[in-house]
């Protein structure tokens, strides 16, 4: 009898664990709690931002120039630290992260910038190999992974091209391939279409949407409202360092 009770208790406990893990099945990728950022010159770039992004989401972060978007990106990549509040990225608490842990945290992220930031002296293949080598990938892994990501971004025949032989849209697709090559859990793109014409911009955004559909969480910073309005996604809007809207749908809708 006593043994049976013990068994039941154990079973109950494991059911409870299952239920509570079910409730939190979607892991939290980003958590900002009451974030304030004041730069050394006194500029208050963020004034109490709260944000939660879960595994698998596609989120547009929008707002006018100077509203604090890139400041949020730099907090998430641990380039800068908050003046007040808590930042948690992929389970790493950036408030008390150790210096040696920062590269590990960054490997869970793929970051894409407006100006591509490719190595001009290396081919597409060389750029991707460089990114993989920094995480200690083997030659075998590179031979397998690089053609896969190039195919994914539609550049399977450009492995031997140099960045300056490619259009802006192509270069940004290389940057996306590089962001993906180490299989990150999340991609953060800061104005990825800022240097591209509208047609290329739409192609890039569609590509990011497709990558998200394959499971990578996506945070895309932009101030291009026409582009945002073409996709039905969660839109987080900030203005003067404050979050003014967080909802599904276009840039304008309340
Ligand atoms: N390193 C810095 N030092 C001082 N002020 C900064 C720095 N970086 C950004 N700012 C200021 O912080 C505010 C937000 O900038 P930013 O986050 O780059 O905005 P966004 O990306 O939305 O254009 C702006 O007023 C900007 O001038
Ligand atoms: Mg910016």
CA of 37, closest atom in ligand 1: 12
Instruction: Single out the residue in 141, 167, 183 at which a domain terminates.
Output: 183
Structural contact between residues 65 and 71, judged by C-beta atoms closer than 8 angstroms: no
pLDDT tens for residues 136-182?
999 999 999 999 999 999 999 999 999 999 999 999 999 999 999 99
Closest approach atom of ligand 1 to CA 71: 17
Q: Is the CB of 39 under 6 A from ligand 1?
A: yes
45 Cβ closer than 6 Å to some ligand 1 atom: yes
Is the C-beta atom of 66 inside 6 A of ligand 1?
yes
- pLDDT at position 254 is 42
- My answer on whether 217 and 244 are in the same domain is yes
Looking at the structure, do residues 39 and 101 belong to the same domain, yes or no? yes
For residue 137, with 0-12 CB atoms within 10 Å meaning exposed, 13-18 middle and 19 or more buried, which class applies?
A: middle
Nearest protein Cα to ligand 1, atom 12 = 45
Contact (Cβ atoms closer than 8 angstroms) between residue 110 and residue 182: yes
Q: Of 152, 183, 214, at which residue does a domain stop? A: 183
Residue 10 domain-assigned?
A: no
What's the chain's average pLDDT? 90
65 domain residue, yes or no: yes
d(CA 192, CA 88) in angstroms, rounded, equals: 23
Q: Give me the pLDDT at residue 251, please.
A: 74
Owning domain of residue 151: 119-183
* Alpha carbon of 67 to ligand 2 centroid (Å): 8
Domain co-membership, 223 together with 240: yes
Give pLDDT, residue 4.
Answer: 47
**68 Cβ below 6 A of ligand 1:** yes
Nearest CA to ligand 1 atom 2: 39
Judge if 245 and 204 occupy the same domain.
Answer: yes
The answer on 190 and 179 residing in a single domain is no
pLDDT in tens, 218-230: 999 998 888 999 9
**Domain presence at residue 97:** yes
Q: Which pLDDT band, with edges at 50, 70 and 90, does 232 fall under? A: very high
Task: Name every residue whose Cβ is closer than 8 Å to that of residue 18 and which is 6 or more positions away in sequence.
Answer: none
- Residues making up the chain, counted from first to last: 254
- Same domain for 126 and 227: no
The pTM of the full predicted model, rounded to 2 decimals, is: 0.89
* Together in a domain, 34 and 159: no
Rounded to whole angstroms, the Cα distance separating 204 from 143 reads: 25
- CATH number of the domain bearing residue 53: 3.40.50.300
Are 76 and 124 within one domain? Answer: no
Pair 59, 70 in one domain = yes
Give the total number of structural domains in the chain: 2
pLDDT digits (tens, 9 = 90+) for 13-27: 554 554 455 555 689
Question: Which of 35, 38, 42, 45 for mutating ligand 1's site (highest number of atoms within 8 Å of CB)?
Answer: 45
| Residue 138 Cβ contacting ligand 1 at under 6 Å | no
């Amino acid at each position: 009898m006593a043994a049976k009770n013990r068994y039941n208790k154990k079973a109950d406990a494991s059911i409870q664990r299952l239920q509570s893990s079910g409730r939190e099945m979607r892991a939290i990728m980003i958590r900002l709690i009451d974030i304030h950022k004041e730069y050394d010159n006194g500029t208050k770039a963020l004034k109490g931002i709260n944000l939660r992004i879960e595994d698998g989401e596609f989120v547009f972060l929008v707002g006018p120039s100077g509203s604090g978007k890139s400041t949020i990106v730099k907090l998430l990549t641990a380039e800068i630290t908050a003046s007040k509040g808590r930042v948690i990225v992929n389970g790493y608490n950036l408030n008390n992260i150790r210096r040696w842990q920062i590269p590990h945290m960054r490997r869970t992220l793929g970051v894409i910038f407006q100006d591509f930031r490719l190595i001009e002296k290396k081919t597409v293949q060389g750029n991707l190999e460089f990114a993989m080598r920094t995480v200690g990938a083997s030659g075998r892994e590179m031979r397998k992974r690089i053609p896969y990501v190039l195919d994914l971004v539609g550049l399977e025949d450009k492995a031997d091209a140099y960045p300056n032989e490619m259009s802006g849209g192509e270069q940004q697709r290389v940057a996306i391939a590089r962001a993906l090559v180490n299989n990150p859990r999340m991609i953060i793109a800061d104005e990825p279409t800022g240097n591209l014409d509208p047609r290329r911009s739409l192609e890039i955004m569609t590509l990011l949407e497709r990558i998200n559909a394959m499971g990578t969480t996506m945070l895309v910073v932009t101030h291009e409202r026409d582009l945002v309005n073409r996709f039905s996604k969660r839109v987080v809007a900030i203005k003067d360092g404050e979050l003014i809207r967080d909802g599904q749908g276009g840039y304008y809708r309340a």
